């Protein structure tokens, strides 16, 4: 009996020890991160010293870059968090495996990433285009800032990250959310009788989100993610998605209203106060690309980009859009506003890419019809138009009432919502080839758009294939899915 009692105690101890979660050794990760930091700043110094266009910068700018390690303590963390996202699944797998070979491979990749991040920082000063000087002259506060100041701002270095004080009174949902004309013009009311987007996932790349607004009370929200203010080790850091610029909350509220049962997730890549219209756009385009990679990794079906657009075409962004397309995800952006078009800035990326759905906005006429809105620039890449009489939410902690925001920015999440409704009724099988499903869903939206509803007989550079029709598109999606099921029997 005594031996049995001792055996029970020993067994209990063994079981207790085996059930304790093993704490992984992460000290090696900290060491790799610190090694990367030294390499990062050393690479900046070496590349700027040897750069063939170094003379484009003045002595003050060169000094700031050479002294980046002491002047800009968060620069390394910000850029590593941005460029880490492309291969985040691989990095995470290597960390999880934790074996000797995995650690060596992680170190090799991470240190190479440090060199690449430094290289992109240096190149950002020389990747100027014809709009760089134009923007610097147009925006008064930019006139007193040098190239280094402007590049640093473009990555959210000075972004406002404070947590706002919420108002004491709860905001109520205004009736205009249901009255807005675009719901009728684009046939969303009829489409919602069939589907409200259940099962579809929309990633919104913007300035953040105020989740306390009542428009989101019944919204299925994903794990919101921010690349602004994210300065720690990429595998062990986070940042707030608070929206100090209103734009992200407005755009998110549109997606939530037009696809009310879809999941929406904010990917904060911009700050509405300090990053608007950066003259040096390379790194901003890289943040957009990083957000696209992250959104794909997280399993989103649609990636909606309203707060973006640049005349700068870079491989890093082009490759991110191609990656999304190859994985059968729909990337949506907008065409240019006419004011930029008149100034000679005739290209807008990423909407120029064939892998991206380019959206414009159509305005209501006095007779109740819609037509080309001459604030928007005509462009051969324009895919479809959405109505511009769209009502949106403002953050509850700002002194702005919810309002109508006629804009291309607002039209983009309306189109994203249409894709969500379509995907809800015609979901991917997961066996499609690269881009095969994306093409099929884009064809559904394109073929059911109505050019006559905006005054055209067919495709036009003003309104693309026409005004979107949610009801027709969703009904065709239902039929297509039914036909697909019958063929599989």
pLDDT digit string, tens, across residues 195-251 = 999 999 999 999 999 999 999 999 999 999 999 999 999 999 999 999 998 999 999
Closest among 371, 237, 249 to 307, alpha carbons compared: 249
Q: What is the chain's mean pLDDT, rounded?
A: 92
- How much of the chain, in percent, has pLDDT values that exceed 90? 79
User: Which phi and psi angles does 357 have, rounded to 5°?
Assistant: -85, 115
What is the mean pLDDT of the segment spanning 405-416? 97
Q: What is the distance between the terminal CA atoms of the chain, rounded to a whole angstrom?
A: 65
- Of the listed ranges 17-26, 412-421, 469-478, the least confidently predicted one is 17-26
Contacts 24+ apart (CB under 8 A), 340-344: 340/131, 340/377, 341/377, 341/378, 343/131, 343/134, 344/130
pLDDT confidence bin for 140, thresholds 50/70/90: confident
At the topology level, CATH places domain 176-488 in: Rossmann fold (3.40.50)
Report residue 346's pLDDT band, with 50, 70 and 90 as the boundaries.
low
Model confidence at 5: pLDDT above 90: no
pLDDT at 481: 96
The tens digit of pLDDT for each residue in 426-438 reads: 999 999 999 999 9
Res 289 pLDDT > 90: yes
pLDDT tens digits, 76-99: 999 999 999 999 999 999 999 999
Distances (CA, A) of 171 to 209, 254, 258, 431: 16, 17, 20, 45
Q: Using pLDDT thresholds of 50, 70 and 90, give the confidence band for residue 277.
A: confident
Q: pLDDT-derived band of residue 136, with 50, 70 and 90 as boundaries? A: confident
Q: Looking at the predicted structure, is the pLDDT value of residue 271 above 80?
A: yes
3-state secondary structure of 196: coil
Q: Is 151 helix (H, G, I), strand (E, B) or coil?
A: helix
Task: Give the H or E element holding residue 333.
Answer: strand 330-334
The pLDDT of residue 75 is above 70 = yes
| The predicted structure's pLDDT at residue 24 | 57
- For residues 170 and 4, the model is more confident at 170
Place of tokens 């428009």: 215
340 pLDDT band (50/70/90 cuts)? low
pLDDT at residue 13, as a whole number: 42
pLDDT band at 360 (very low <50, low <70, confident <90, very high): very high
User: What's the whole-number mean pLDDT along residues 164-181?
Assistant: 90
Tell me the C-alpha distance between 135 and 151, whole Å.
13
User: Could you tell me the residue ranges of all domains in the chain?
Assistant: 27-126, 176-488
**Which secondary-structure segment (H or E) carries 325?**
helix 315-326
Average pLDDT over residues 7-16: 43
């Amino acid at each position: 009996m005594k031996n049995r009692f001792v055996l029970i105690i020993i067994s209990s101890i063994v079981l207790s020890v085996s059930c304790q979660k093993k704490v992984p050794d992460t000290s090696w990760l900290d060491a790799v991160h610190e090694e990367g930091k030294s390499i990062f700043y050393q690479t900046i110094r070496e590349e700027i010293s040897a750069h063939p266009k170094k003379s484009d910068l003045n002595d003050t700018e060169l000094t700031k870059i050479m002294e980046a390690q002491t002047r800009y303590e968060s620069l390394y963390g910000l850029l590593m968090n941005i460029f880490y996202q492309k291969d985040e699944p691989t990095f995470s797998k290597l960390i999880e495996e934790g074996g000797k070979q995995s650690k060596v491979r992680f170190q090799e990749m991470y240190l190479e990433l440090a060199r690449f991040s430094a290289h992109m920082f240096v190149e950002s000063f020389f990747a100027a285009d014809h709009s760089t000087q134009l923007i610097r002259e147009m925006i008064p506060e930019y006139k007193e800032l040098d190239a280094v100041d402007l590049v640093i701002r473009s990555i959210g270095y000075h972004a406002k990250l404070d947590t706002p004080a919420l108002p004491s009174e709860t905001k109520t949902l205004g009736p205009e959310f249901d009255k807005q004309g675009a719901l009728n013009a684009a046939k969303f009311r009829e489409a919602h009788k069939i589907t409200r987007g259940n099962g579809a996932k929309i990633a919104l790349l913007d300035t953040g989100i105020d989740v306390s607004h009542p428009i989101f009370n019944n919204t299925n929200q994903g794990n919101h993610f921010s690349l602004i203010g994210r300065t720690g080790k990429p595998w062990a850091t986070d940042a707030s998605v608070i929206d100090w610029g209103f734009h992200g909350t407005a755009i998110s509220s549109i997606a939530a209203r037009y696809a009310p049962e879809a999941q929406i997730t904010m990917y904060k890549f911009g700050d509405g106060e300090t990053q608007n219209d950066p003259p040096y756009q390379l790194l901003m385009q890289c943040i957009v690309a990083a957000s696209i990679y992250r959104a794909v990794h997280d399993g989103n079906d649609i990636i909606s980009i309203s707060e973006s657009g640049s005349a700068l075409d870079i491989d890093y962004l082009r490759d991110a859009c191609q990656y999304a397309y190859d994985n059968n995800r729909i990337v949506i952006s907008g065409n240019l506003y006419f004011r930029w078009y008149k100034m000679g800035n005739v290209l807008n990326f990423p909407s120029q890419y064939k892998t991206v759905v380019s959206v414009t906005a159509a305005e209501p006429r006095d007779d109740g019809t819609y037509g080309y809105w001459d604030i928007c620039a005509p462009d051969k890449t324009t895919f479809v138009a959405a109505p511009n009489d769209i009502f949106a939410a403002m953050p509850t902690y700002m002194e702005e009432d919810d309002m109508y925001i006629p804009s291309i920015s607002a039209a983009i999440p309306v189109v994203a919502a249409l894709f969500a409704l379509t995907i809800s009724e015609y979901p991917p099988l997961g066996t499609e080839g690269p881009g095969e499903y994306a093409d099929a869903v884009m064809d559904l939206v394109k073929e059911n758009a109505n050019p006559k509803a905006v005054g055209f007989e067919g495709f036009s550079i003003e309104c693309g294939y026409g005004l979107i029709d949610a009801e027709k598109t969703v009904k065709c999606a239902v039929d297509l899915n039914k036909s697909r099921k019958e063929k599989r029997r």
